[in-house]
C-alpha cells in the first residue's frame, strides 16, 4: 500500500478538513500557490504587482473604481455584513447572496427541484413539492416574485422566508434554521397571484393577493361575464410560528372586484392591522386583439385613476370569527358584498397605471408609483383612517365598495421622473424609488417630498431593495437596483442576457455605484436584505433528524443496527452513511420489489455531507450531518446499479459506493 493511501485511510474517520489537508500537502504546486496570501505588509504595494498606482494604471482603474473595490471586497475568512434573499424568477428557486461582496452563497430549491440539495429527487422533499400541485398537469416551474422574511414587531427576525409563485398561485415556507423549503400551499381559488408573500408585522398572516382576475375556484366563465363572475382575492394565510407552517384551516380570503390587483404591503406601527394593494385595469378590459378590440395594454390605460385597495384585516378577522363567510374549495372567503358593507375593503384613486405599494418605516404613509406617470403618490394613513371612520366616500364602485376622495387621502405627490415603480427606505428619512423608463434610482426626502438625487443604473430597473428596507428600522448603507437588462455590461452569453444587480452605496452624501453582479438565474423580481448576524441556522442535525418533521425519524438508523428486512415483495432497507461507506452496501432485489430505504448520516462533524444516488432511478439525496431521509421506489428496471456518494466527503469519497442488483423476473 502506498503512503498516501495509508494516510488517506487513517484520516477516513476524522474531519474532512484534515483529510483534505493531507491530500493538499501531497500536491506541491498547490502548497506553493496557497502560501503567499493577502497583500504584503504595510499595504502600500500589492505583492509582486508593484504599487497600487501601477496596478490601477495596468488595469485601467480609476480611484472611484478602487474605492468601490475596497468597499465591496470581503477578505478570505470574513463574512458579508448582509444577506440577500432574492427571487430566482422562473427557476422557482431563491438566491442567497452576500452584501457587499454580492457573492452567491446558495440557491434554495423552493417550487422546483434543486439537485445539489437533493430537493425533489426521491426523498422526503418530493412530498413538499407534490403538495404544491395545481390542476392535473405536472408543474415543473414557478414564477417567483417576492421573497419576504418573517417579522417580529415589524423587524426581520431571521426565522422564515415566504415565497410566492405568480404563475400558479402558490406560497412556500422556507425554514431559515436549515434553509430548506418545508411547505408549499397551493391556493385553489386563484388563477395567478402577485401581491405576496408579504407578512404582517408579527407574521400572523402571510398575504397573497391575486393578479389576473378569474372566477374564484377557477371555474369556467366566458369573458363576456367578466364583470359578474371574475374576481380578485386577498388571501390571508395564517402562519403557525410554533409549527413553522401555514395553517390552511385558520386562513381566509377576501373577495375583491375584478380589478387587476398588483403589489401589496402590510401596514406597520400606526397602520398595523391594515393591508394596501395597488391595482390596474379598473377598466376591466379583457383584450380581443383579433376581433379588433384594444389589447389589455391600452384597454387598461383609459382611466386616469385606478384604485388603491385598503383592507382592514383585523376587522376581517372578526367577521371570519363571526362566521360571516362563504366556503369555496375548502377556504373561508368574505364576500365582496360583506367586504364593502363592513368597510373591510375601501378604495381610493391612484394615478395612471400604478405599480408598487410600499409602506414607510413609521407606518404613516403608503407610496405608490405609476408606470405611466411621473409622480409617486404618498397616501397618509391617518387621513385614510379618519375618512373611513367618517364614511366620507366620494362615490362607490359598481360593486358597492366605498371610494375615498383622492385629494383628501394623500399627503402629497413627489415629482420623480418617467415610470416610478418601487420604493424603499433608509434610516435618514429618505426614500429610493426605482424609475423604469428613465433607468435611475431617485432618492427623495420623505419630509418635503422633493427629489434630492438621481443615479443612473444600467438598465431599466424593476425592483429596488434596501438593507433591512421593509422593516420599522431600515439600516440605510446599501441599496440594490434589480435591473431587467444588462446591455454593454457583461461578456456575451447569447441573446438571453444576465440580469444585473447593482449594489449602491447610500451611506455617503451622494449615491455611489459599487458593484455589478450578473444574475444568471432569472428573472429575479424582488428580494430582501437582512443583517447576517440575525440569521442563526443550525450547523448540523441531531443524528437521525427528519428535517420535515424536525424530530428524530421513527426509522432513524443507529450504527450497528443496519439491516435489510424482506416481507414478500416489500423490502425495507435501514442504512447508515459515514466516512466512507454505506452499510449495507449491497442490495439484492428482485424485479418488481417495492423498496423503502431509510438512510441516516451518522456524521456529527461540521460540513460533513454525504450524497446518495442510485443511477437511473433518479434518486439523488443530500445527507447533511445527522440528517435522515426516507425514499420509496419500485425496483422495476432489472440490472446492475451502482449506488454512490455524490459529495467529495473524504480522501476515499470515490470508494463510498455499493451496488443495487435487480434480478430480472424469470
Confirm or reject binding of residue 620 to ligand CUA (CB under 6 A).
no
239, with CB counted inside 10 A (0-12, 13-18, 19+), is buried
Question: Cβ contacts of residue 460 below 8 Å, gap of 6+?
Answer: 436, 437, 439, 483, 484, 485
CB half-sphere exposure, 658, CA atoms < 13 A: 18
The secondary structure of residue 273, as a DSSP letter, is: T
Residue 10 C-beta: closest distance to ligand CUA, Å: 17
The secondary structure of residue 5, as a DSSP letter, is: H
Confirm or reject binding of residue 263 to ligand CUK (CB under 6 A).
yes
CA dist 12 and 46 (Å) reads 39
CA dist 415 and 432 (Å) reads 13
Residue 421 C-beta: closest distance to ligand CUK, Å: 5
Applying CB under 6 A, the span of 193-201, 267-275, 633-641, 644-652 interacting with ligand CUA comes to 644-652
**Hey, which residues does 467 pair with through a beta bridge?**
476, 529
Residue 525 C-beta: closest distance to ligand CUK, Å: 4
Residue 362 grid coordinates: 413609521
Residue window 511-530: x/- pattern of binding to ligand CUK, with contact defined by CB under 6 A? --------------xx----
Of 595 and 649, nearer to ligand CUA (C-beta) is: 649
Residue 484 C-beta: closest distance to ligand CUK, Å: 7
Footprint on residues 401-440 left by ligand CUK (CB under 6 A): 421-422
Residue 68 grid coordinates: 468601490
Residue 90 C-beta: closest distance to ligand CUK, Å: 12
Confirm or reject binding of residue 645 to ligand CUA (CB under 6 A).
yes
Of 8 and 419, nearer to ligand CUK (C-beta) is: 419
The secondary structure of residue 45, as a DSSP letter, is: B
CA dist 366 and 385 (Å) reads 13
Work out the angle between the directed axes of helices 3-11 and 16-26 (0-180°, nearest 10): 170
CA dist 87 and 142 (Å) reads 11
Residue window 552-581: x/- pattern of binding to ligand CUA, with contact defined by CB under 6 A? ----------------------------x-
Phi and psi at residue 343, in whole multiples of 5°? 55, 30
Size, binding site for ligand CUK by CB under 6 A: 11
User: Could you tell me the end-to-end alpha-carbon distance of the chain, in angstroms, rounded to an integer?
Assistant: 44
Of 200 and 483, nearer to ligand CUK (C-beta) is: 483
Question: Cβ contacts of residue 435 below 8 Å, gap of 6+?
Answer: 416, 417, 418, 419, 420, 421, 441, 442, 454, 461
Q: Which does 525 bind (CB under 5 to 8 A by kind): ligand CUK, ligand CUA, none?
A: ligand CUK
Footprint on residues 303-322 left by ligand CUA (CB under 6 A): none
Of 121 and 280, nearer to ligand CUK (C-beta) is: 280
Phi and psi at residue 427, in whole multiples of 5°? -95, 0
Report yes or no: 478 and 464 within 8 Å, Cβ to Cβ: no
Confirm or reject binding of residue 610 to ligand CUA (CB under 6 A).
yes
291, with CB counted inside 10 A (0-12, 13-18, 19+), is exposed
Phi and psi at residue 373, in whole multiples of 5°? -125, 165
Residue 515 grid coordinates: 458593484
Applying CB under 6 A, the span of 231-239, 306-314, 558-566, 640-648 interacting with ligand CUA comes to 640-648
Confirm or reject binding of residue 309 to ligand CUK (CB under 6 A).
no
Residue 174 C-beta: closest distance to ligand CUA, Å: 26
Confirm or reject binding of residue 649 to ligand CUA (CB under 6 A).
yes
- Identified binder of ligand CUK from the candidate list 16, 101, 145, 519, rule CB under 6 A: 145
Of 9 and 403, nearer to ligand CUA (C-beta) is: 9
b/e map 266-285, b = 16+ CB within 10 Å: bbbbebbbbbbbbbbbbbbb
Residue window 348-367: x/- pattern of binding to ligand CUK, with contact defined by CB under 6 A? -------x------------
Confirm or reject binding of residue 656 to ligand CUA (CB under 6 A).
yes
Residue window 441-480: x/- pattern of binding to ligand CUK, with contact defined by CB under 6 A? ---------------------xx-----------------
Of 196 and 402, nearer to ligand CUK (C-beta) is: 196
CA dist 449 and 365 (Å) reads 12
Instruction: List contacts with ligand CUK (CB under 6 A).
Output: 145-146, 194, 263, 355, 421-422, 462-463, 525-526
Q: Which residues bind ligand CUA (CB under 6 A)?
A: 580, 610, 645, 647-649, 653, 656
Amino acid at each position: 500500500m502506498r503512503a498516501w493511501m495509508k494516510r488517506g485511510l487513517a484520516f477516513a474517520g476524522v474531519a474532512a478538513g484534515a483529510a483534505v489537508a493531507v491530500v493538499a500537502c501531497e500536491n506541491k504546486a498547490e502548497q506553493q500557490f496557497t502560501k503567499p496570501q493577502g497583500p504584503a505588509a504595510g499595504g502600500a504595494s500589492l505583492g509582486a504587482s508593484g504599487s497600487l498606482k501601477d496596478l490601477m494604471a495596468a488595469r485601467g482603474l480609476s480611484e472611484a473604481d478602487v474605492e468601490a473595490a475596497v468597499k465591496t471586497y470581503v477578505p478570505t475568512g470574513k463574512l458579508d455584513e448582509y444577506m440577500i434573499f432574492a427571487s430566482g424568477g422562473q427557476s422557482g428557486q431563491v438566491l442567497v447572496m452576500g452584501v457587499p461582496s454580492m457573492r452567491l452563497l446558495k440557491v434554495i430549491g423552493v417550487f422546483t427541484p434543486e439537485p445539489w440539495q437533493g430537493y425533489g429527487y426521491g426523498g422526503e422533499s418530493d412530498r413538499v413539492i407534490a403538495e404544491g400541485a395545481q390542476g392535473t398537469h405536472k408543474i415543473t416551474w414557478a414564477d417567483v416574485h417576492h421573497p419576504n422574511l418573517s417579522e417580529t414587531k415589524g423587524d426581520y427576525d431571521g426565522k422564515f422566508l415566504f415565497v410566492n409563485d405568480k404563475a400558479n398561485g402558490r406560497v412556500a415556507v422556507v425554514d431559515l434554521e436549515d434553509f430548506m423549503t418545508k411547505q408549499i400551499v397551493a391556493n385553489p381559488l386563484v388563477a395567478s397571484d402577485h401581491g405576496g408573500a408579504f407578512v404582517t408585522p408579527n407574521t400572523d398572516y402571510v398575504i397573497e393577493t391575486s393578479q389576473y382576475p378569474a372566477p374564484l375556484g377557477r371555474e369556467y366563465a366566458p369573458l363576456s361575464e367578466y364583470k359578474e363572475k371574475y374576481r380578485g382575492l386577498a388571501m390571508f394565510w395564517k402562519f403557525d410560528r410554533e409549527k413553522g407552517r401555514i395553517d390552511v384551516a385558520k386562513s381566509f380570503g377576501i373577495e375583491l372586484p375584478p380589478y387587476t390587483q398588483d403589489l401589496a404591503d402590510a401596514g406597520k406601527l400606526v397602520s398595523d392591522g391594515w393591508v394596501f394593494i395597488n391595482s390596474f385595469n379598473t377598466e376591466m378590459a379583457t383584450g380581443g386583439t383579433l376581433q379588433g378590440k384594444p389589447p389589455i395594454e391600452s384597454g387598461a390605460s383609459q382611466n386616469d385613476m385606478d384604485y388603491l385597495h385598503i383592507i382592514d384585516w383585523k376587522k376581517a378577522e372578526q367577521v371570519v370569527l363571526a362566521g360571516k363567510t362563504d366556503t369555496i374549495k375548502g377556504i373561508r372567503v368574505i364576500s365582496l358584498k360583506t367586504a364593502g358593507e363592513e368597510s373591510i375593503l375601501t378604495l381610493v384613486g391612484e394615478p395612471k397605471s400604478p405599480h408598487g405599494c410600499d409602506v414607510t418605516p413609521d407606518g404613516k404613509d403608503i407610496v405608490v408609483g405609476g408606470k405611466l406617470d411621473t409622480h409617486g403618490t404618498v397616501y397618509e394613513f391617518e387621513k385614510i383612517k379618519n375618512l373611513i371612520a367618517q364614511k366620507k366616500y366620494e362615490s362607490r364602485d359598481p360593486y358597492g365598495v366605498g371610494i375615498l376622495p383622492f385629494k383628501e387621502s394623500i399627503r402629497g405627490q413627489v415629482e420623480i421622473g418617467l415610470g416610478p415603480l418601487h420604493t424603499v427606505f433608509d434610516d435618514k428619512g429618505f426614500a429610493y424609488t426605482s424609475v423604469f423608463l428613465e433607468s435611475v434610482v431617485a432618492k427623495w426626502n420623505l419630509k418635503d417630498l422633493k427629489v434630492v438625487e438621481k443615479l443612473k443604473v444600467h438598465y431599466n430597473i424593476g425592483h429596488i431593495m434596501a438593507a433591512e428596507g421593509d422593516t420599522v428600522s431600515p439600516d440605510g448603507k446599501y441599496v440594490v437596483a434589480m435591473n431587467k437588462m444588462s446591455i454593454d455590461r457583461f461578456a456575451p452569453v447569447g441573446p438571453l442576457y444576465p440580469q444585473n444587480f447593482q449594489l449602491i452605496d447610500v451611506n455617503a452624501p451622494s449615491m455611489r455605484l459599487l458593484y455589478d453582479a450578473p444574475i444568471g438565474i432569472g428573472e429575479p423580481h424582488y428580494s430582501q436584505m437582512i443583517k447576517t448576524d440575525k440569521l442563526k441556522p443550525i450547523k448540523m442535525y441531531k443524528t437521525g433528524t427528519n428535517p420535515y418533521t424536525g424530530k428524530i425519524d421513527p426509522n432513524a438508523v443507529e450504527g450497528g443496527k443496519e439491516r435489510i428486512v424482506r416481507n414478500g415483495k416489500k423490502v425495507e432497507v435501514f442504512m447508515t452513511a459515514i466516512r466512507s461507506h454505506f452499510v449495507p452496501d449491497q442490495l439484492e432485489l428482485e424485479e418488481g420489489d417495492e423498496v423503502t430505504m431509510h438512510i441516516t448520516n451518522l456524521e456529527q462533524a461540521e460540513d460533513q455531507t454525504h450524497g446518495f444516488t442510485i443511477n437511473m432511478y433518479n434518486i439523488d439525496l443530500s445527507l447533511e450531518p445527522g440528517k435522515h431521509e426516507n425514499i420509496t421506489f419500485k425496483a422495476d428496471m432489472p440490472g446492475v446499479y451502482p449506488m454512490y456518494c455524490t459529495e467529495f466527503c473524504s480522501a476515499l469519497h470515490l470508494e463510498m459506493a455499493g451496488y443495487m442488483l435487480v434480478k430480472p423476473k424469470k
